[in-house]
Amino acid sequence: MKGRYGDIWDELFSGLWEANVEEAYFKNKVALVTGASRGIGRAIAESLSLCGARVIANYHKSEKEITSLVESLQNKHCAIEALRADVTNGKEVERMVDEVVKRYERIDILINNAGLKRDSFLALMSDEDWVEVIDTNLKSVYYVTKWVSRIMMRQHEGKIINMSSLSAFKGLAGQANYAASKGGVISFTRAVARELGRFGIQVNAVAPGLIETDILKDMDKEALKELIQGIPLGRIGTVGDIVGAVLFLASNHSDYIAGQTLLIDGGLGI
């Protein structure tokens, strides 16, 4: 055996270790990330920007958070800007996509990340909580993908990554609305992947399990402890665990992957 991996593996991986990944995959790519002000969306927007992509960080209400993200990255000479739009509103989404294309002439990567939770037992759930979760988590994916896909079809290339959840696979009490919305994202992903594949567009989804974000602060401590005990890897995931998967699906490494959902949950859903 020669070197770290032997003759064959050294030859295969040497270019990967030495190559400038930013230049190879994301340099000057135009990426639109919805719900980019906090949590996973913020981490994705930051990582894509640091990798050389031109990032449009969408937000709706969290102006303070998105401003701090944009300013910190622009100070590092990254190409990122914020764009406000309510992604549950079709007209606002159309306007947002038109604005991105007006500025950059294309969209290479779409991350449908905007989402929220309004947990409640079904018998006690309000109509407002049902509608708001479905609209934010599912209808927004429909609107944004619809308008962005038209741009990508003209380009004959593009990457679309939709954010689902472990809840789509593992029923959790109090999350009927959330599970329904995230299950819908998976079915939507599979159907749209079939439609857009002929145009050189790959559509996939990522389904996080328990991840260290603000959303966990609202969970019952005992219920959270019990869930962690059921994770084979023995820990809650980090946003970095999700970002790595998203960057993979957004890169050329995933060119032959379509309609799939990558479950990143430490084995909790096994």
Q: What is the rounded CA–CA span in Å between residue 20 and residue 121? A: 49
- 178 given a catalytic annotation: yes
Q: Which of 109, 115, 88 is nearest to 160 (CA)?
A: 109
**205 phi/psi in degrees, rounded to 5:** -135, 155
| Cross-sheet strand order for the sheet of 261-264 | 80-84, 54-59, 30-33, 109-112, 158-163, 201-208, 261-264
59, 142, 143, 178: which one is catalytic?
Answer: 178
Q: What is the rounded CA–CA span in Å between residue 202 and residue 206? A: 13
Residue that the structure tokens 């038209």 belong to: 150
Q: How many CB atoms lie within 10 A of CB 217?
A: 7
Catalytic residues: 178
